[in-house]
Amino acid sequence: MADQHFSAAAAARPAVAAVALALMLAGCGPSGSGPTGPGGPGGGMPPPSVGVLTVQPQSLNLSTELPGRLEPVRTAQVRARVTGW
Q: What are the tens digits of pLDDT across the range 30-68?
A: 665 555 555 566 567 788 899 999 999 999 888 888 899
Spatial neighbors of 34 by CB under 8 A, at least 6 apart, are 41
What is the residue range of 12's domain? 1-25
Residue 83 in any domain: the answer is no
Confirm whether 12 is domain-assigned.
Answer: yes
How many structural domains does the chain have?
Answer: 1
Q: Which residues contact 38 (CB under 8 A, 6 or more apart)?
A: 44
pLDDT tens by residue, 5-15: 567 778 888 89
Assign 23 to helix, strand or coil.
helix
> Can you give the pLDDT at residue 12?
85
Cα separation, 3 vs 14, in Å, equals: 18
Residue 7 or residue 26, greater confidence: 26
Please choose, from the candidates 27, 31, 49, the residue with its C-alpha nearest in 3D space to the C-alpha of residue 40.
Answer: 31
Question: Is residue 60 in some structural domain?
Answer: no
What pTM does this model have?
0.30
Question: What integer pLDDT is reported at residue 49 of this predicted model?
Answer: 93
Name the amino acid, one letter, at 42. G
